Amino acid sequence: MKQFYSLFLIFAIQFSFAQINQEKYDYFVQFNGNQLSKKVDINQVLNHPIITKYISKKPDFDLRKYTSIIKLDQKITIHGSFLDSVPYYQFTIPIKGKEAVKQYLTEKLGAGTENNAIQDLGKYSVFTPKGVKKTLAWNDEFLVIFELTKRLPKKYYEETTSTAVMDSVAAVDYYENDTIVEAPAYGDPAVPVPSPPKIAEPSVSKNDPVVFTDPAAGTDAVQEEYQYDGNPYEEYTVEQAEFDRKLAENQSEIIKHLFENGFTAPNSAKINIGADISTWVDYGGMISTLYSAYSLPMALFGGYDKYLPMQKNFGDFVKGINFDFYFDNDNARIEEIVEYSKEIADAVGKIGDRKINKNIFNYFPSEKPLGYMSYHINTKAALEKFPSLMSDMFQNPKFAKEDIAIITDLISTIVDEEATAKLFDGDLSAFLYNVKEVEVMTKKYSYDENYEEKITEEKVKKTIPLFSVVFTSTHPTFGDKLLQLGVRKKILTQNGNYYQISGTKEYGDIYILKDKDVVAVSNTLDHFSKGSGAFVKETKKDLSKNVIFGKLNISQTVKAFGQNAKEDDLNKLNRIASQFSDFTMESPKKLIDNKFKFVLKLNSLQTNKNIILQTLDLADEMMTSK
């Protein structure tokens, strides 16, 4: 039986290697050196004082040594697959010449020695460092670092382990009927043992050596015996060696295929060539790798993995995710772009299409706060779409479509989308106004001489942030009844048109105001605008185009929170405040080509040099001022 599994395993490996598709990738990363080099000189970055100071202590991190062989003003890519039958990764690096790479490998990695030779194959050269599986191959234009990352299939281990256990049990029951072959003394001629590889039956004494055969030899050849020290997993090592040998052979064939007829640098339509660094990942593939991690434990404990959402379903919903990085003089930003399926894109578009309840602006501040975030969605649309989306996500061979339909119908029956949506309409805003020093009542815990806990309250001065959270609810009675319940239970104290929360005073007095459709939770009553002011006007404009918008004023925030900082810390904070103006986030309402965008941006007050150099200058100044 073991012979069958061994032959089947080798056949499966050979077949899967033959099926590798270099056009298939699950992730793609591209450093657009041709784009970034127009904005900043890479030599200025690598020779910046803070970089040189660091590499003087850590010379192994000196990236300047690579500038003699790599063309940093061209595209560098990393791509690969973790879903294909043969997973792999590939770095593709433009170089200045074939000999430059050879010289570097000879000097730095000891290439060219007897056991670490460089293979010169005419059009290209190949080097596999001793003790590693990745291969370096290059011609006059490109260096490729390639590795097949396939592992020995888990199924083989399970079968072998099970067989080994059965063999051990059998040895106890029928051992006296077997013929025992003692291991030959060191130096004696080997005893012929036929293929396939097999761990011999254990001897009576557990300390006696066990004999096993090496499968590396041919089927008909007489195989040499080895002393086996009793480790039950030694047979796996032999299979692993055969697996790795086949892996190396096929890796060599792939390298040959890449270079033999002239190397073509990989490219992807998923990549944004206008970004400085652009990445793309197959969302379904990423979920599959996570799925395998949590499905195994559930499979071990009752086989519940069969009832989990199929990982394929996630891939049907989200096609891929891009992360694009930009480094300009006046800002650095990250753009996340999520590509949905047509069905999901339509749902997301409807959820984001919300007309903001204008009453919420009555509780926006009239002047710009230190920071704020505002988020507006169509809650009713989200609730209406939820059952059908869950139905598609949980499609599974263990659940018939009709089974899922029963559950989703039950949810739809119990949940009245229109009534539920009125509890929270979908408008949510949060504001950070300022800081304030107040006296707050705090509890202190201690123990008396009898080791009994004592709780004492005392007033202490504390700097607290002034904030508010505002949302809308159009339910006609629920909000008022909930507030009255709080009053009856003495959780709230009513004072005119607002309620004060009893208990903790860690952030001062907390108030709840309910004004028709609007509910505000705040520790200050001094910053509501009644719908007027420059800030309200500006925010309305931003929110008309975005489902999410937020901003943090760095300079004003540092000034507010740095009042009680030490002088050295305050100087550093002020230096940051003089360099960067604000941090913003936004997400447009409109989806283009079924793609949802989310943007994070750091804006600079300086524009005389690229923001990368600005950040290095700032870090150098702060390190020097220590």
Q: Which pLDDT tens digit goes with each residue over 51-81? A: 999 998 888 788 888 888 999 999 999 999 8
Residue 4 confidence (pLDDT) above 60: no
Residue 242 confidence (pLDDT) above 80: yes
Q: Is 207 exposed, middle or buried (0-12, 13-18, 19+ CB in 10 A)?
A: exposed
Mean pLDDT score, 530-537: 88
Q: Check residues 17 and 417 and name the one with the higher pLDDT.
A: 417
Confidence of residue 161 (pLDDT cuts 50, 70, 90): very low
Cα–Cα distance for residue pair 384/412, rounded to 1 Å = 8
Q: In the prediction, which pLDDT does 9 show?
A: 43
Q: In the prediction, which pLDDT does 7 show?
A: 39
Q: In the prediction, which pLDDT does 226 show?
A: 37
Confidence of residue 419 (pLDDT cuts 50, 70, 90): confident
Q: In the prediction, which pLDDT does 368 show?
A: 94
405 contacts 388 by C-beta, under 8 angstroms: no
Instruction: Provide the CB-side half-sphere exposure for 378 (13 A, CA).
Output: 16
Q: How far is CA 570 from CA 120, 462, 554, 560, 561, in A?
A: 60, 19, 14, 11, 10
Q: Is 414 exposed, middle or buried (0-12, 13-18, 19+ CB in 10 A)?
A: exposed
Which of helix, strand or coil describes residue 440? strand
Segments making up each domain of the chain, as ranges: 2-152+243-268, 427-624
Q: Measured in Å, how far apart are the chain's first and last C-alpha atoms?
A: 70
**What burial letters (b/e) apply to 249-271, b meaning 16+ CB within 10 Å?**
ebbeebbeebbeeebeebebebb
Q: Which residue has the tokens 């309910």?
A: 514
pTM of the model: 0.77
Mean pLDDT score, 530-551: 93
Mean pLDDT of the chain: 79
Mean pLDDT score, 546-574: 90
Mean pLDDT score, 619-625: 84
Q: Which pLDDT tens digit goes with each residue over 82-123? A: 876 778 999 999 999 999 999 999 888 778 776 688 999 999
Residue 457 confidence (pLDDT) above 90: no
Q: Which pLDDT tens digit goes with each residue over 354-409? A: 999 999 999 999 899 999 999 999 998 888 877 666 666 555 444 455 555 666 56
Confidence of residue 193 (pLDDT cuts 50, 70, 90): very low
Q: In the prediction, which pLDDT does 601 show?
A: 98
Q: Which of 322-336, 348-362, 432-446 has the highest mean pLDDT?
A: 322-336
DSSP states of 151-208 as a string? ---HHHHHHHHHHHHHHHHHHHHHGGGSPP-PPPPTTSPPPP-PSSP-BPPPPSSTTS
Confidence of residue 180 (pLDDT cuts 50, 70, 90): very low
Which of helix, strand or coil describes residue 312? helix
Q: In the prediction, which pLDDT does 190 show?
A: 40
Q: In the prediction, which pLDDT does 409 show?
A: 60
Confidence of residue 451 (pLDDT cuts 50, 70, 90): confident
Mean pLDDT score, 432-441: 87
Q: In the prediction, which pLDDT does 567 show?
A: 85
In 3D space, the residue among 192, 212, 191, 209 whose CA is nearest the CA of residue 200 turns out to be 212
